[in-house]
Structure 1
Amino acid sequence: MTRLTVDPIDLAIFQSAVHSIAEEMGAALRRTALSPNIKERRDYSCAVFDGRGRVIAMGDHMPVHLGSMPMSVLAAIDAIKLGRGDIAVLNDPYAGGTHLPDITMVMPVFHDAEQEPLFYVANRAHHADVGGTYPGSMGPAREIFQEGIRIPPVRIVRGGQVDREMLDLILFNVRTPQEREGDLDAQIGACRVGQDRLLELAAKYEPMKLCALVDELLDYSERLVRAELRKMPAGEFCAEDWLDEDGVTDNPCRIAVKLTIDPAEAAITADFDGSATQVNGSINAVRAITLSACFYILRCLIAEDAPATAGILRPLTLVTRPGTIVDAHPPAPVAGGNVETSQRIVDVLMRALALAVPDRVPAASAGTMSNLTIGGIDPRSVRPFTYYETTAGGMGARNGIDGISGVQTHMTNSLNTPIEALEYAYPFRVRRYGYREGSGGNGAYRGGDGLVREIELLADAQVTLLADRRKFRPYGLAGGDDGVAGKATLLRNNLSNSLASEELPGKCSRQAKAGDVLRLETPGGGGWGKA
C-alpha cells in the first residue's frame, strides 16, 4: 500500500496533539490521586501508543518509567485480548515492569466499529506500598517474593466496570488499602481521559492519514538520532563504574559497557556483557531498565522538543547477558535495580560517551535516588502509614556550566514532598532541609551540591534506606574532582534526652522509636575541567 505524504506542518500539529494527551493524562492522575508520592512528588508517567504497541508520545515525566513502559504494554497485549472498555494492570518486572511498586495500566482505544484498537494509552505510578517484608516495599530483600505482590497482566476493568474481585486481591496484600485504591482509581481515570482525547483526535483524520502521521512521527525520531550519530567519531568506547554493594554482602558490583559507534551506518551498539552476575540483594535490574537507560541517553542527544517515540531506539543494538545485574532473571529481587542500578547504567553510558564527544557530556550527577521508606502506625489515626520518597542530589558540571544543586537527575524526574504536606500526611517533623554546602566536586566548573534533610519521627516506625554512592563517589570529568559521597545517620533519642548517632549503611532497615531523627545527606555532582 502506498504511504501518504505527510506535510511537516500537519506532523508538527499531530506531534503536539499526542504529547498534550499524555500530559493531560498525567495532570488528571496527579489531581485525583490520594498519596503524596503521586499527588505531590509526581512519581508517575503517561504515554500514548499506536495500535501495534509502538510508543508515539510520552509526557514529560519519569525517564525510568517511560523507556521501559513499552515492554509492559506489549506484555499486556500479548497476554490478554483487550476489548472495549477493558483496562489491564500489571507490575511484574519480568513482564516489562521495573519494580513491584510501579503499577502499570494499559487501555485499548477503539474507533467507531473497528475490531482492532487504533491506539493504546498507558500510565505507570509508584505506589507507596505493595506489601512484602518492608513497609514501602523497597527494602534489602533477597528474592522478589519478599518485595510485594507480583501482578501479571490481568484485567482490572472489564467492559468499563471495575473488576472488584481483582481489585480486592491487590488491596488485601498491601498495608494501606484505602490509599492504594484511591491511586488505582486515579490511574483508571487517567486512562479514560487519554481514551476520550484520542477519539476526539481520531475524528479529525481519515484512517490512512492517521496511520501516515504515526509512521512519519516514528521515522522523524529515528532520523534525528541517526543525524547525531553521523556526527560522532567511529570506534569502540568502553567504561565501567560500580555500585557500592548489594545490601547482602560488601562486594562492589561492576557495570561495564562497550559502546560501538558506526557513523557510516548511523548506528550504535551498547554491549553490557562485562557487567556483574545478578546478586542476592535487590539491586538487580531487568533488561527493560537497561533499555530504558539507553533510551534516555539517545534522547539526550537530540533536541528537547523532539518526539519521544519508539523510533529513537531503532539505531540501537542492545547486548546484555541473561542472569546479570543488567538483565536479571527470577527470582532475583529488583526493587533497587529500578532506582539505583538504572542511575549507574546511565553513569557508565555517559562515561563512555565522554570518550567520544567530551565537550557534550557532563560529569556524574549524584548517581543515587537515596530512597527512604518509613512505615508504622500513625498515632493520630491509629492506622498504618507508609512513606516513600527519593531525595535529590547534585548535578554534574559540564563544559561551560556549573552543576545544579539539589535536583533530581537522569532516570528520576520527581519533585520533593513539601514540608507542610509531609508533616500533614505523616507523623514526622522536619527539623532541617537545605543544601549540603561543599559537596559538589571542584573544577573549572563546579558540581552541584547535594541536600541535607533531617526527619524526626513522632511514632515508632521501621526506617528503610536504599541508596548508593557511599564508596564510589560521583566522578568528575576533564580533570574535575569527584563529588562528595552520600551519608545517612540515625540519631537515637535515649532516656537522658540526648541523641546517640548510628551511621547507616546505604542499604538497610532499622526499627526506630518516636523521637529518633534520621539525617540524610545526598551526594554532590562531579566537577568538570581542572580548577
Structure 2
Amino acid sequence: MKNENKGEKGFDAIALGLFASRLESVCDEMGAVLRNAAFSPNIRDRLDYSCAIFDARGELGAQAAHIPVHLGSMAYAMGDIVDRLSWQAGDQVILNDPYLGGTHLPDITLIAPVFAGETLMGFVVNRAHHADIGADTPGSMPVSSSLEEEGMVIEPVHLVRAGERDHEVWNGILAATRNPRAAEGDLTAQLSANRAGRQRLQALIEEQGTAVFSAGMEALNAYGERLARSVLEKIPDGSYTFTDWLDDDGQGQERIPIQARVTVRQGHIEVDFTGTAEQVSGNVNCPLSVAAAGVYYVFRCLMPPQTPACAGVFRNISLHAPAGCLVNARFPAAVAAGNVETSTRVVDVIMGALAQAIPDRMAAASHGSMNNLAMGSAAPGDSWDYYETMGGGMGASRETAGLSAVQTHMTNTLNTPVEVLEQQYPLRIRRYQVRRGSGGAGKHSGGDGLVRELGFLADAEISLLTERRLLAPWGLAGGRNGLCGRNLLNGEALPPKCHRRVKAGDVLTIETPGGGGWGHTDREKD
C-alpha cells in the first residue's frame, strides 16, 4: 500500500515543495542577472523578459513570475525545438522564428542545455524583447503585412557551440540592427543569464544526484497534474462557445472574429478555435503556441497559488485550431501584433466561454490591449529605438472592482520611469495620469485606463499597434462596458494601428481603455 505521507515518487510534501522552490530560485536568479546586465530600458526597466527551466524532453519544469505570453508559448513549443537540434555541453541556441518556436521577431530566445557528465538533464531558457530586430521602421513593431517586413528571422541555430561563439551568426544579428552596441549588450546579458542558470542547476543536480533530480521532476509534474485536475473537475461538464472580435488588422479589415468552443468532460478540457477568422493581411495573426499561452493562462488563474509552474499542470488541456486561421497562421503571415494583441483577445474569449460555466469565478473583460507604441529616429546617423506597452483598466469581478492603470493578463511588464525615458530619448512626458471614468459601471466598477502624453523634441517615426479602440471591453453579469481607448496626434484621432512621421513639437496622446464592470448597479436593481 502506498505511504500517503510520501506523496509523489517518494517525495513527501516538504521535500517536493523545497525542490520546486529551488528550481524557481534558479529562474529568479537568471532574471536578476539578465536585468542587471542588460543595456536597454526595455529589458532593464520595463522587465520585458522571462526565464524558465525545462527537462530533457523539453517539458516545462519551473519558471519565474515573468511574462505569461512568453512562458506559455515556450511551454507549448519547446519539445519541437529540443527534437530539432543536437546538443552538447556549452551550447547556446538562439531563435526568434514564430513558426519554429518563437512568438514574434522582437522576442529573442536563448536556450542552453544542462548536462551531468554525458547525460542531458534539461535546459535553461530566457526570452527577452529587443526594441530593434532590423525592421524598416524604428522599434521593430511595424504595421506589417508579411513576416519579412518585421525584421530579421532567426531560425533555431547555435550561437555558441561547445563554449565557442559562432561569430558569423553573432555578427549577422548585430549587423541587422540600428544600434549594434545596444543589441550586443542585451544579447550578452541573455547569454550570461543562461550561464548563471546552468551553473546553479548543475550544482543542484550534483548535490542531489541525477536519479533523485529526475525523480523530482517527474514528481513535480505528477503533483501539478493532480492539483490541476482537482480544479478542472469542478467546472461543470458541457460545451461553452464564445466569440469576440479584434478591431482591425491595420490593412483595412475590421471586426475580425475569434471564436472558441470550450468542452469540459470530467476535468479534461478541449479548446477548439473552429469558427475563428482565416489569417489576415495585417499582423494580428499568431502561431498556435501564442494562442496556447492565452488558453493556459486562463486555466492557471483558476488554480491555487501553490500550483507549480510545470508541464503537468496543462496535460489535461488540449487545443485545436484549423491550419491557416488567425490563431494558427501559416508562414509567412505577419505576426508582430499577434503576440501582444491577439493573445490578449484569446484570453477574453476563453474567459467569456467559462463565464457560462462558472460565472462567479470569471471577471469582466480588461482593457484588452498592450497599447503598443514603437518609435525612433527619423534622421539617419542619429539612431535610437524605443518600444513600450501601456496599462489600462482591469475588469471587475463578483468579489471586487477592477484595478486602474495596470498591465493585465498576457503581459507583466512595468512602465519605463519618466526620468529614464527623458534621459535616454528626445522625448518629454507631458501628462501621465489615470483616465477617470473610463471603467464600466456596475455593482463593482471596472478599473480606469490611463492617459500618457508624449512630446517630441526631434523628428521621429512612430508605430501604434492597439486594440479596443473600436470595440469596447465587455461587462459581465449586467455590468457596463469599459470605454474604448483613443490615439491622438496633435489632437487628431489616429487609427488603432498606424505608422506616422512626427516632427519636433508634435504631441502624441494615448488614452487606454477601461475595464468592464460586473453586476447591476443598485440603481438598476431598483
Fold shared per TM-score above 0.5: yes
Measured in 1, the distance between the counterparts of 2:200 and 2:362 equals: 38
Structure 1 partner of 2:42: 37
Structure 1 partner of 2:516: 526
- Do 1:88 and 1:157's aligned partners in 2 also have CA atoms closer than 8 Å? yes
SS at match of 2:480: coil
- Do 1:72 and 1:104's aligned partners in 2 also have CA atoms closer than 8 Å? no
Which digits, 9 at most, give the CA deviation of each residue in 1:71-119, with x for residues without a partner?
45334322321211110000000012110000000000111x22x3112
Equivalences for 1:73-472 in 2 at 5 Å? Answer: 73-111=78-116, 113-114=117-118, 116-263=119-266, 266-376=267-377, 383-472=382-471
- Do 2:9 and 2:218's aligned partners in 1 also have CA atoms closer than 8 Å? no
- Do 1:73 and 1:122's aligned partners in 2 also have CA atoms closer than 8 Å? no
Measured in 2, the distance between the counterparts of 1:385 and 1:505 equals: 24
Which digits, 9 at most, give the CA deviation of each residue in 1:388-425, with x for residues without a partner?
00000000001120100010000000000000010011
Equivalences for 1:499-518 in 2 at 5 Å? Answer: 501-518=491-508
Runs of 4 or more off by more than 4 Å in structure 1? none
Measured in 1, the distance between the counterparts of 2:342 and 2:305 equals: 25
1:163: how far off? Answer: 1.8
- Do 1:75 and 1:153's aligned partners in 2 also have CA atoms closer than 8 Å? no
1:220: how far off? Answer: 1.1
Measured in 1, the distance between the counterparts of 2:430 and 2:503 equals: 16
SS at match of 1:120: strand
Cα 1:402–1:378 change in 2 (3 A) is: farther
Structure 2: which amino acid aligns with 1:509? H
Does 2:487 correspond to 1:488? yes
Structure 2: which amino acid aligns with 1:277? E
Cα 1:351–1:253 change in 2 (3 A) is: same
Measured in 2, the distance between the counterparts of 1:457 and 1:223 equals: 54
Structure 2: which amino acid aligns with 1:456? G
Structure 2: which amino acid aligns with 1:199? Q
Kindly tell me the number of residue pairs found equivalent between the two proteins: 515
- Stretch moving more, 199-208 or 329-338: 199-208
Measured in 2, the distance between the counterparts of 1:417 and 1:300 equals: 27
SS at match of 1:252: strand
- Do 1:377 and 1:385's aligned partners in 2 also have CA atoms closer than 8 Å? no
Measured in 2, the distance between the counterparts of 1:281 and 1:138 equals: 12
Question: What is the TM-score when the length of structure 2 is the normalising length?
Answer: 0.96
SS at match of 1:375: strand
Structure 2: which amino acid aligns with 1:361? M
Measured in 1, the distance between the counterparts of 2:278 and 2:251 equals: 14
Unmatched runs of 5 consecutive residues or more in structure 1: 492-500
SS at match of 2:500: strand
Measured in 2, the distance between the counterparts of 1:298 and 1:224 equals: 12
Structure 1 partner of 2:524: none
- Stretch moving more, 101-110 or 250-259: 250-259
Structure 2 partner of 1:496: none
Question: What is the TM-score when the length of structure 1 is the normalising length?
Answer: 0.95
SS at match of 1:167: helix
- Do 2:378 and 2:501's aligned partners in 1 also have CA atoms closer than 8 Å? no
Unmatched runs of 5 consecutive residues or more in structure 2: 3-7, 522-526
- Do 1:378 and 1:427's aligned partners in 2 also have CA atoms closer than 8 Å? no
Structure 1 partner of 2:64: 59
Identical positions, percent: 49
Measured in 2, the distance between the counterparts of 1:89 and 1:24 equals: 20
SS at match of 2:120: coil
Measured in 1, the distance between the counterparts of 2:330 and 2:315 equals: 25
SS at match of 1:100: coil
Structure 2 partner of 1:495: none
Structure 1 partner of 2:472: 473
SS at match of 1:117: strand
Measured in 2, the distance between the counterparts of 1:288 and 1:514 equals: 41
1:189: how far off? Answer: 0.3
Structure 2: which amino acid aligns with 1:436? R
Structure 1: which amino acid aligns with 2:283? S
Structure 2: which amino acid aligns with 1:296? Y
Measured in 1, the distance between the counterparts of 2:403 and 2:466 equals: 20
1:137: how far off? Answer: 1.2
Measured in 2, the distance between the counterparts of 1:78 and 1:188 equals: 22
1:383: how far off? Answer: 2.9
- Do 2:436 and 2:448's aligned partners in 1 also have CA atoms closer than 8 Å? yes
Which digits, 9 at most, give the CA deviation of each residue in 1:327-375, with x for residues without a partner?
0011100000000000000000000011111111110000000000011
SS at match of 1:285: coil
